[in-house]
A and B are shown apart, each in its own frame.
Chain A
Amino acid sequence: MLDREQVHKVAHLARLELTPAEEEQFTTQLGSILDYFEQLNELDTGDVPPTTRAIDVSNVVRVDALQPYPAREAILDGAPDRDGEFFKVPQIMGGE
């Protein structure tokens, strides 16, 4: 069973600020989703090879050919903040 402590930790890892009420609510909601998946465990999958994907396609690759993206300015402008040619972000750790 999922507990509130785990929800708190996952929220911290995802940098989400949750109110105590939200933590309570998500513990219930995420718990019922996990319960639903738990039902799948009732199936015997001993003979089924593990899969990492739903679509059976592999080796999708492209040639190593240069094609610079023309709208660099648009990408820079799309950021919340920029400083000339740089993206500007809040300082993460104190000091260095």
Chain B
Amino acid sequence: MTTTATKTQYEAVIGLETHCQLSTETKIFSNSSTAFGADPNTNIDPVCMGLPGTLPVLNQKVLEYAVKAGLALNCQIAPYSKFDRKQYFYPDLPKNYQISQYDLPIAEHGWLEIELDGEDGAPVRKRIGITRLHMEEDAGKLVHGGSDRLSGSTFSLVDYNRAGVPLIEIVSEPDLRSGAEAAEYARELRRIVRYLGVSDGNMQEGSLRCDVNISIRPVGTEQFGTKVEIKNMNSFNAIERAINYEIERQTAALEAGDRLVQETRLWEEGAQRTISMRVKEGSSDYRYFPEPDLGPIEVSAEQLAAWKGELPELPAAKRHRYEEDLGLSPYDARVLTDDRAMAEYFEATLAAGAPAKPAANWLMGDISGYLNNEKKTLADLPLTPASLAEMIGLIESNTISTKIGKDILPELLTQGGSAKMLVEKKGLIQISDPAVIETAIAKVLEAHPAELEKYRSGKKNMLGFFVGQVMKQTGGRADPKLTNQLLTKQLDG
């Protein structure tokens, strides 16, 4: 396809609606478990089933978690907030209404910052507005006629374990412009709720679900195009690909002179495309009204300050600090702050005296590699940050070489203990005494007259061979830099 100067360029306008399950023990308005994967209808009770005569009562953890998420997203917390009934008729709702928040959500007017890779490796940072954050209950799950594909089935089976599980819904401003930005927004949101400990953010189990609103418009225009909603993405990559697919589809339609229709489309992971989903007519008229069974919520200034005081340093703040104060590259900063446990391990290693860059390298390289291979987490690791700092210190002070560091790491990773004691026990302290290295060199030269001859007749790349032999001679303990120097002198001299 060739682009000519007259061709209209389009840009995408994207907003995300994210549902995030809060990590509480019990449901939002009743005492049943929220555990994932239980047998059907084991976590049900009269309240979440909406039986007559029952009274919902708000779980205080839900309020705390929602407010903390709102604060972390730089929102204003409503001084007065309430719940509403959203009416719709579908068997995933036992009550025929969902308790949600309509016009007075708990939090509004926030933002989060995403960081993407720029062209020259410099970070590109962008603020994405958060329109609102509100609390609501999840719905149940339908199983169609015993088999998902059984056509002609006249009934559905319902599991209400998920009905009443606490959610926060986070609505972004239409500030996103590409699939990559949207996926990064969703990742940052997950990082934040995980840092806060308010959600596990597990997309496979449905703890984090993103719906995308997307339209395209000619670059430079203000007016929005026809909005399409995309659902059913269960990974960050799927969000990115679904958006890219939709941008292409909508651009092609407009270029062909077709009209786009406002609709909901489903992402098909297998076919890597979106398909139109039939939506029931009139289903968007939810007839909201204030939930009469639940009182309003007024978060006091003292309570708000207390919860604010409990917030950890968040990923964006950590990235800035790692880049600006510790001098790490944006890439390193992003990798280390992706997971709170990793960031805290890293910081504990620095607190124990290690310099930032080597600590970052060890953690992102050998240690992450080990954890990935063994399917382990930092919490399982016998190696303490203090011991890692000790090992880095031994390398920095030339007591051991980096090579020896790598050799002893597996034992430290599996056994833990002091790096220094391990080095001493194994007699691995680096040989930095020139006299000792020279003795080893002399032995090597004596044992390999033919190779020496070759070297002296011009094959300078034999140097590596001799270095290797000296290392072998000294059990890998010879100071590599000094060995190189001394060897070159001997060979050339």
Contact = CB atoms under 8 A, between A and B. Distances in A.
A52 B83 CA distance: 10
B41 A89 contact: no
B287 A69 contact: no
A13 interface: yes
B287 to A, nearest CB: 7
A96 B144 CA distance: 8
A93 B280 contact: yes
B155 A95 contact: no
Interface stretch (A19-27, A28-36, A39-47, A58-66): A58-66
B2 interface: no
24 contacts: A13-B87, A15-B89, A53-B296, A59-B295, A61-B57, A61-B63, A64-B26, A66-B26, A66-B32, A66-B33, A68-B43, A75-B41, A75-B45, A75-B51, A85-B39, A86-B41, A86-B158, A86-B159, A87-B41, A87-B157, A88-B155, A89-B91, A91-B154, A95-B151
A90 B155 contact: yes
Given A64-B59, A69-B45, A75-B49, A52 B290 contact: yes
A86 B60 contact: no
A94 to B, nearest CB: 9
A87 B158 contact: yes
A10 B134 CA distance: 27
Interface string B30-45: 1111000001111111
B237 interface: no
Nearest to A78: B51
B285 interface: yes
A59 B24 CA distance: 18
A55 interface: yes
Interface string A3-14: 000000100111
A12 B89 CA distance: 11
Contacts of A15: 89
Interface string B280-305: 10100101001010111110000000
A92 interface: yes
Interface residues of A, number: 38
A75 B46 contact: yes
* Nearest 9 Cβ contacts at the A-B interface: A69-B45, A86-B157, A67-B31, A61-B60, A64-B61, A52-B290, A89-B91, A85-B40, A87-B158
Contacts of A12: 282
A59 to B, nearest CB: 6
A91 B154 CA distance: 5
Contacts of B26: 64-67
B5 to A, nearest CB: 46
Interface of B: 24-26, 30-33, 39-46, 49, 51, 57-63, 82, 87, 89-91, 104, 143-145, 151, 153-160, 278, 280, 282, 285, 287, 290, 292, 294-298
Residue among A61, A65, A88 with max Cβ neighbours from chain B (10 Å): A61
Interface of A: 9, 12-15, 52-53, 55, 57-69, 72, 75-76, 78, 81, 83, 85-93, 95-96
Given A75-B49, A78-B51, 16 more contacts: A52-B290, A53-B290, A58-B296, A61-B57, A61-B58, A61-B63, A66-B25, A66-B31, A69-B45, A75-B51, A87-B91, A88-B157, A89-B156, A89-B157, A93-B278, A95-B151
A91 B156 contact: yes
Contacts of B292: 53
A52 B40 contact: no
B381 to A, nearest CB: 31
Contacts of A13: 87, 282, 285, 287
Contacts of A76: 41
Contacts of A81: 155
B58 A58 contact: no
A62 B58 contact: yes
Residue among B45, B58, B87, B153 with max Cβ neighbours from chain A (10 Å): B45
Contacts of A96: 144
A65 B82 CA distance: 23
A89 B155 contact: yes
A65 B290 CA distance: 27
A85 B43 CA distance: 12
B59 A62 contact: yes
A64 B24 contact: yes
Given A59-B297, A62-B59, A64-B61, A90 B39 contact: no
Contact of B25 (A53, A65, A72, A95): A65
Contacts of B143: 86
B429 to A, nearest CB: 54
A62 B24 contact: no
Contacts of B87: 13-14
Nearest to B22: A64
B57 A62 contact: yes
A69 B32 contact: yes
B349 to A, nearest CB: 35
A9 B287 CA distance: 12
Given A58-B298, A65-B31, A86 B40 contact: yes
Contacts of B40: 85-86
A96 B160 CA distance: 19
B25 to A, nearest CB: 5
A81 B61 CA distance: 35
A52 B290 CA distance: 6
